Amino acid sequence: MIPAPPERRLPDGFAVRLDPRTRRRDGGATLLGGSPLRLLRLAPRAAGLLATDRLAVRDATSAALAARLLDAGLAHPDVPAHPDLPADADPAGVTVVVPVKDRPAGLARLLAALRADPATAGLPVVVVDDGSAVPVMAPEGVRVLRHPSARGPAAARNAGLAAAMTDLVAFLDSDCVPLPGWLARLRPHLADPRLAVVGPRIVPLAGAARGWTSPYEEVAGALGMGPHPAAVRPLSAVSYLPSAALLVRRAAMGAGFDEAMRVAEDVDLVWRLTAAGWRVRYEPAAAVAHEHPARTADWLRRRAFYGTGAALLAARHGPAVSPLVIAPETAATWALLVAGGRWGRGAGIGLLGWTTARLARRLARPGEPAPAALAAGLAVRGLAASGQALARAVTRHHWPLAAAAAVGSRRARRGLLAIAVADALVSWWPHRGRTGPVRHGLARRLDDLAYGTGLWAGAVRARDARALLPVRPPR
C-alpha cells in the first residue's frame, strides 16, 4: 500500500524552468507542450509571475503555479548545474542498497566506485545477496543481508529498504557504476515534498564487452530514457524508470516493490506512486553506467523477458499498459488515407479537416476568432505522431498479426516491408552520427520481434489480452 503524499507545498527557493520545447503564445499567457501535449492558459496574475522562463517559489501562489507547470510537464525543476552537496550536507542522509546474485566482479566494481567518489564514500551500504551460489563477501563497513534461495530482485530491494535507517535510499544494481556527481544532481529534487522517486540517465559502461547489438543498445536501449528531463507517468513520453538506479524517499515507498513480479516491478512501482498522487521525475543530468548484454542471444532473451511483463502490468493497471493510444477519428483517418483508394484519401483529408475545425473551436478564446492555423498544426502533428505509433504497433507489439496478414496478401507484404524500413530509418536518423542505418535497422527489427514474442507469450500465459488492445487517449 502506497501512502498518500503530504499536503505541503513546494518550499520557498525551489525553482522551475520551462521546458525548451514548451511554446509560449498570446504574449506568454498560453503555454503549449508537455507529454501528452496540452495547452495551458494562464490567468493574468500567473502570466505576470512567469515573465521569464524561470519561476522561483516565493509564496503560496507561486508554489501553486510551479506545481501546476511541473505536473503538466511544461516545466522541470531548475537544479544547479554543479551543486555543492557533500555527503554530510543532508542530515536525512542516503543509504545505498545493492541487490546481487552471482555477480561478484560487478559488485566489487560498484563498491569501488562508491568508495572512490568523495560524495558517496561515507554513505551506508546494504548489499542483499539474493541466493548467490557463493555467498557474498563484502568489504568492511558494508552490511550484507542474505536470502538462502533466490526470491527475485523486488524482494532483494525490499529487504534493503527495510534495513535502511535513512530517509532516502539509492538503489543500484550490481551491473551498474555510478558516474561522478550522480547523487548530487538527484538529491536536490527531493526538496519537493511530493516527489517520491527520481532516476538518472542510464548510459553504457565504458570498457565493457561489446557485441553486434551494442551500438543500437547504446542509443535505443530499454533502459535509456533519452536526453530530456521529464515528469514520469503512464501514457507519457517517459512512462517509467528502470530500477537499475533510483533515488527514493523511503516514506513514500510503503511496502516497496511487488515481490510477486519478477519483471516490470519497477514500472509497477512508478505507476502505483503516481496513482497515489506522488511525483516521479527523470533527471538525465545525473548518469549511471550500465553493463549491457554483449552476446546477441542474451540481449534477445532479455528483450523477450521484458515483453512478458506487460501482461502482469495489465492485470494491475489496465489500459495504462496499452501498446497503442489513438483516438477513433485518427485511426479512421489513417485507414482512409492508406487503404481507401482515391475516394478514401479524399474522405481522410476531409476527416482531418473536420478534426481541425473541432479543435479550433475548443482552442478559441471567448470573443476571439478560432485559431485555425494553430489547430491545423496540432492536428497534423497529432496525425504524424499517431502514424508513428501505428507503425510501431505493426512492427513490435502486433507483428504476429501483421506477419499472418502478409502471408496471404502481396499488398500486405509490401506494406509491412515499407513500414518496417520507414520505422527503422525514423528511429536511426536522430542517432545517425553514432551508428549505421543497416545495423541499427536490423537490430531494431530483432528487438521488436523479441519483445513482441515475449508480449504475446505473457498475454497467452495470463489469458489476458489487455496488454495487446488499443485505448483512447485520456482527456
CB-based contacts of 152-156 (< 8 A; 24+ apart in sequence): 152/259, 152/261, 152/262, 153/99, 153/243, 153/257, 153/262, 153/265, 154/256, 154/257, 154/258, 154/259, 154/260, 154/261, 154/262, 154/265, 155/130, 155/257, 155/259, 156/99, 156/100, 156/101, 156/128, 156/130
pLDDT of residue 132: 95
Query: What does the pLDDT read at residue 86?
Result: 43
84: pLDDT strictly greater than 60: no
C-alpha cell at 356: 481541425
Sheet holding 38-41, edge to edge: 23-25, 30-33, 38-41
So where are the chain's domains?
15-77, 94-294, 328-468
Round to whole Å and give the CA distance between 449 and 428. Answer: 17
pLDDT at position 82 is 52
Strand order in the sheet with 54-56: 54-56, 15-18, 75-77
The pLDDT value given to residue 90: 53
Per-residue pLDDT tens digits for 318-349: 999 999 999 999 999 999 998 878 888 999 99
pTM of the model: 0.93
Phi, psi of 208 (to 5 degrees): -75, 160
pLDDT band at residue 25 under the 50/70/90 scheme: confident
Could you tell me which of 94, 169, 166, 161 has the C-alpha nearest to residue 128? 161
**Structural fold of domain 94-294:** Spore Coat Polysaccharide Biosynthesis Protein SpsA; Chain A (3.90.550)
pLDDT at 87: 39
| Nearest-angstrom CA–CA distance, 72 and 39 | 9
- The candidate with the shortest Cα–Cα distance to 151, out of 254, 256, 261, 309, is 261
Read off the C-alpha cell for 118.
568523495
Q: What's the confidence (pLDDT) of residue 436?
A: 94
pLDDT tens for 190-208 read 999 999 999 999 999 999 9
Question: What residue has cell string 521484458?
Answer: 306
State residue 91's pLDDT score: 41
pLDDT tens sequence across 385-433: 999 999 999 999 999 999 999 998 999 999 999 999 999 999 999 999 9
| DSSP letters for 263-301 | SSHHHHHHHHHHHTT-EEEEEEEEEEEE----SHHHHHH
Give residue 28's pLDDT band: very low, low, confident or very high (50, 70, 90).
confident
pLDDT at 273: 98
Q: How high is the pLDDT of residue 21?
A: 94
Residue 85: what pLDDT? 44
| pLDDT given for residue 463 in this prediction | 95
Cell of 7: 499536503
Q: pLDDT tens digits for 216-267?
A: 999 998 999 999 999 999 999 999 999 999 999 999 999 999 999 999 999 9
Q: What are phi and psi of 97, to 5 degrees?
A: -115, 125
94-132 confidence digits (pLDDT tens): 999 999 999 999 999 999 999 999 989 999 999 999 999
Give the model confidence (pLDDT) of 169-186 as tens digits.
999 999 999 999 999 999
Instruction: Kindly indicate the confidence band of residue 63, based on its pLDDT and cuts at 50, 70 and 90.
Output: very high
Grid cell locating 417? 516491408
pLDDT bin (cut points 50, 70, 90) of residue 441 is very high
Whole-angstrom CA distances from 36 to 46, 84, 166, 230, 236 are 22, 34, 35, 12, 6
User: Residues 128-150: pLDDT tens digits?
Assistant: 999 999 999 888 889 999 999 99
Beta carbons within 8 Å of 304's beta carbon, 6+ residues apart: 450, 451, 453, 454, 457
Q: Is the pLDDT of residue 88 over 50?
A: no
